[in-house]
Chain A
Amino acid sequence: MLENEPCSIIENEYVKPGKGQAFNRVKLRNLRNGRVLEKTFKSGDSLEGADVMEYDMEYLYSDGEFWHFMATDGSFEQHGASEEALGDTIKWLKEQEVYVVTLFNGAVLTVAPPNFVELEVVETDPGLKGDTANGGNKPATLTTGAVVKVPLFINIGDKLRVDTRSGEYVSRA
């Protein structure tokens, strides 16, 4: 915990100048927004541990304010994520898909999508027959509202496999 924000330590270097005071130069990642920051502490100083847990959870539904997930470990435990906690993952939400939900003090901190999701195209220019291999792409809007670049042969109603890390089209599903 740093300034009330849960962080993970990426690097921790012990520094001691000559006869002087010892420090630890620490690189931390803010678990809420992913930002990396560098801070120096006096050696021996302690920080409060963050009560952070990761769970596999299935996406159920949204009530407009919260997006609800259910644990897949058989506990059927449910948690609602705010729009802020969802972040970019909102573009890749699909019912019955399993997400990694990070809980902090029992509340949803972040939701990470699987590396690949399959989503349907709801809007794109008409497909061009025969153009399967080379050149050209066009934007396609998916059921979640995400827009990805796709090859020209893709039609409305096609299911696509998308890499959520890059936001890129992989193949037709």
Chain B
Amino acid sequence: MWQPSAKREALLARQTLNQTIRQFFAERDVLEVETPYLSQAAVCDPNIEPMQTNDVRYLHTSPEYAMKRLLCAGMGDIFEIARVFRRGEAGRRHNPEFSMLEWYRVGWDHQQLMLEVADITLAMLAPRYPSLPVVKLTYADAMQTYAKLDVRQASDEEVARAGIGLAGQDLDLNRDGWLDVIMSHAVEPTLPANTLVFIEDFPASQAALAKVSADDSGWPVARRFELYFNGAELANGYHELTDAAEQRRRFSAEAQGRPVDENLLAALAHGMPECAGVAMGLDRLLMMVLGTDNIADVLAFDWSRA
């Protein structure tokens, strides 16, 4: 097991990818930053579990909180290429330690950011896919088209029934849990192939730190998007919530006993500029560039060899 899990070709593709990213943002005057990997506070997301060190610091699960503090301090447009850590996330497309590209655009909304995400993704995938179609769907339309579910109208029971059918058993989940089952089992695998697919306007209950507002039909949606390509999720972006009181409320609702990042809350109270932000999984992108379905192929040493 001393040997690498990636071939030299994959290491070279990573170097090319990093160069593409740095050049892309240099041309757009977006500042590259480095933030701490080890933090006194942990992530609040209930579905992400951080790793903890002996001296009670947490390895970050994304550079989001530190980058938002930079935004509050007036640093302007910023990007970071960071190694991030998530306990238990191991599988064919997951490694508990992985590379993330995250960036923020001050004064933009998620619609503008989606255009830029498409541009940089096309640049990153260009070595394998010289051109690709880009489509945009709302969450409700994607559910309707690929899972025959009307999420605006469906009752919790109807959502659960559809989810149980796909899971093969009752997993005792709430509405959002069952929607995740439907999304991952029925929608993701059947999205159009060889196409950058943006899904936007998630249910308000899945807002995390995105703004919430009503869509054209009056249904409350999170101003959030995800980018899918050939069945894999590549990026997750937000029109960022800037209301400090609302942020504190969402944080404490989801903290689950972990220490809330008071530095972040203080920064948000000081004021975060209107902005849009997105995180991208670079290892997944490399998998697409190299045409492999195993994340180990793009890592010098995967989790089992690390």
Contacts and interface: CB of A to CB of B under 8 A. Distances in A.
Given A22-B88, A23-B181, A40-B185, A17 B233 contact: yes
B89 interface: yes
B169 A16 contact: no
Given A14-B91, A19-B208, A44-B88, A38 B173 contact: no
Nearest to B187: A17
Contacts of B208: 19
Given A19-B47, A20-B206, A40-B169, A14 B92 contact: yes
Contacts of A38: 168
A164 B29 CA distance: 71
Interface string A26-40: 000000000001111
A20 B47 contact: yes
A126 interface: no
Majority-rule SS of A interface residues: strand
Nearest to A45: B171
Contacts of B180: 17, 20-21, 23
A161 B94 CA distance: 50
Given A22-B47, A22-B88, A40-B181, A17 B167 contact: no
Contacts of A14: 89-94
Interface string A7-26: 00000011111111111010
A42 interface: yes
A39 to B, nearest CB: 4
A41 interface: yes
A44 B179 CA distance: 19
Which of the four size classes fits the interface of chain A? 20 to 34
B88 A17 contact: no
B99 interface: no
Contacts of B166: 40
Contacts of A42: 171, 173
Contacts of A39: 167-169
Nearest to B86: A16
A16 B48 CA distance: 10
Q: Identify the interface centre among A22, A25, A39, A44: most chain B CB within 10 Å of its CB.
A: A22
A-B pairs, 4 with minimum CB distance: A14-B91, A20-B180, A40-B167, A39-B168
6 contacts: A13-B91, A19-B206, A23-B171, A38-B168, A40-B169, A41-B171
Interface of B: 45, 47-48, 88-94, 166-169, 171, 173, 176-177, 179-181, 183-185, 188, 206, 208, 226, 233, 236
Given A40-B167, A40-B185, A43-B88, 11 more contacts: A14-B91, A15-B184, A17-B183, A19-B48, A19-B208, A20-B176, A20-B206, A21-B180, A38-B168, A39-B167, A44-B88
